[in-house]
Chains A and B, each alone.
Chain A
């Protein structure tokens, strides 16, 4: 009896073995590097017969995708990432240690060292990234070895009147500032390994960069795009950038690559951070040997040569430098020389916590809001606020008791209300009604209500590295007492709440007034081309809002944005939109107004058309002015249609994450963040503090709930 089943199982298992084995590889590469990795994966398939399914994810999204997918067994077998996150990946248990295939002596020493954690190695080093000095050959400059020499050359090469600079680099990014800090003798970590910001070297390094900018030796608010353009158009003689920059340089431009100079004052070299990209094996892979083989394959031999030649990477494998084609490549050897002076970015958790505070301080100093002296303390304060200590774990028993009692009370109250009539009498059609609702209710229960309840309860937990601990109301008390920062600082709940309310109010007022005004114009029956105008004016509504946001962000770009170009036509100086709170907030509001007025226009138009025209005619006969007609007829009759739209619009705007996140991104210093984007940051950008973020969301929920009660009363009055 049993044999057919056994045969079936056997058949099924052979079938599953018969399918060619395949491995999943995730990376964040683009362009040449992506091509190189695809070539290498093909070579692996040719050599072993194992297929490789590649997924390219934008680098900034890759980490969160890895940490959410791998624990749910939906992740890759092998992934490529920079080593800085290794400690975090290790804590979340998503990365497996390297097997005996890794021979440390075969790679550049700083590269393997970077992959070591507590005596074990993780992953296979692929390539190195670090900063170097790019110089245009046609300027006839010699590579500066000290900052004094550099400044002399910059002064000669800059021409502020013609917007020409000596040097350009992304000064607002701490990755670029770190070598300068080290050159001034700065240490990022104290003896206990804690981050430190309030040091003399920090102040000196900030002051030095600020002085370069103030003397117009380098541009303000340089983005990668600006740096590239300036270099290609010969409007800067030098650039500080990494190997990826070689792909950005126009083919006709001759250039050379040099180590960063030494700081004259200290005699210390500007030692750049060394990033090591490695192929890591996932801890959850079902094929550990094959995955390990793929990771190793990518790191050595032919694959390395492909990555160097096609991907323009600086290889970690020593043997690659012996290769004829690689040895001839001056860019590769120049970077190797630079790399030998560099220090690998520490792969500690503490390192990951430095970026956001330092970015804040750098931008604040460069934009002139804060003196170099106060930059360090500013970063220190932000650091302490972001890295909140875990609240003490408490017992969930009292909370459960309260919850159960509450539910019991609710149920008894409800059932008392139902006394008197029988169920059938009260609800004669309940069967059909429920049957119609059931499918929707089932879907909602599983995919909306359950996540909602879980989201609510998450706010009572603290989340760290994949583990939750019950902390009761501690998240709420921390938020509401503004623990760790002043009430007037952007991180405080109250500050963000005020910004959110201002944001909502400004938008709703603008949406309604512009929408209503246009609707009144368009209502005019004698107007020709009404349809055309109406169609053109609802265009913004049809554009997906993340596209709108990106588009406006581009238009507000300081150097290349259309808005500053238009202001320039009127002789107005270009505005750094995201440098001050007021202009950044205005930029957000302008974007959202553009996006939101058509909705209000359409609603108003519909409502206006439903107002009988004889009312106006009668009013005219009675001699009422246009203004009186508007106040006495239009507004009262519009109210029932406009009120729900306004309520809906206010809730949408209150939670309008995309615009804030993509346009101002919270700049300057988180000041323009609203509550939702703040919750998002706590959840996904600051050590995944889901509990804290959930507490934020619950507070958002309470605010909106209170608002809905107010509006209910408003519309209630309406109906009465």
Chain B
């Protein structure tokens, strides 16, 4: 099956703190058709996200398909609050990289 990477289809793929205990991830598409295609392909779901990041599904606190912005959004609970000693990403801004290479069927 031919596939394309999510990074070729989405305009924005980012992560950022949502408060001190959560990190939220946004995948935003320019083209509504690409958004619908990724939604239908079921490659970005709570289950695929849990598998990709190697976490239990109950660490995903929110998962939303946000049609007004052609966006898929999910939120992961931190194990420690942001900026606790040893936390390597105080802003939560570099946690999205594994999403870039998600394969989407053509």
- A is bound by B: no
**Contacts from A to B (Cβ < 8 Å):** none
